[in-house]
Amino acid sequence: MDINIIDLTVHGDSSGKLVAIEEFKDVPFDVKRVYYIYDTESGVIRGKHAHKKLKQVLLCVHGKCTIRLDNGEERKEIQLDDPKRGIMIEGMIWREMLDFSNDAVLVVLASEPYDESDYIRDYDTFLTSIRGK
């Protein structure tokens, strides 16, 4: 499974660091929504769904967490622990987020507004859906 890594440019010096994200330049889509996840309890697994159309870039801007990706044939785990490195998820990928450090802040840039009808929250439905394609 090929995962698109997004390496962002860091502007900074001894006074601190700054990372800017522009649509179609640093991320390959129109950013319609930004959300972030923090204060996660240890042992919690979030996500457990796929999206039909949504494209997203996930960045752990503080602390660390693991993203588990599954395309129905292969599974991969990627640790996010660098505020200048993100991953892009597009297409039918089942995703789970786990192993959050206490201080983790996971920022997500999304190509569409929130739409519950874009989610597939049942794993068997996900498998049926990708195998039908």
Indicate the residue type of 2: D
- Asked if residue 46 binds ligand T46 (CB under 6 A), the reply is yes
| Binding segment toward ligand T46, per CB under 6 A, in 20-28, 33-41, 74-82, 125-133 | 33-41
Q: Which residue has the tokens 């129905």?
A: 72
CB of 15: closest distance to ligand T46 in angstroms? 32
Active site residue 49: yes
- Write the burial class of residue 11 (CB in 10 Å: 0-12 exposed, 13-18 middle, 19+ buried): exposed
CB closer to ligand T46, 8 vs 37: 37
- 1 neighbors 69 (Cβ within 8 angstroms): yes
Q: Is 35 in the site for ligand T46 (CB under 6 A)?
A: yes
SS3 track for 55-84: CEEEEEEECCEEEEEECCCCEEEEEECCCC
Q: Is 108 in the site for ligand T46 (CB under 6 A)?
A: yes
Residues contributing to the site for ligand T46 (CB under 6 A): 33, 35, 37, 46-47, 56, 58, 95, 97, 108, 114
Provide the annotated active-site residues: 49
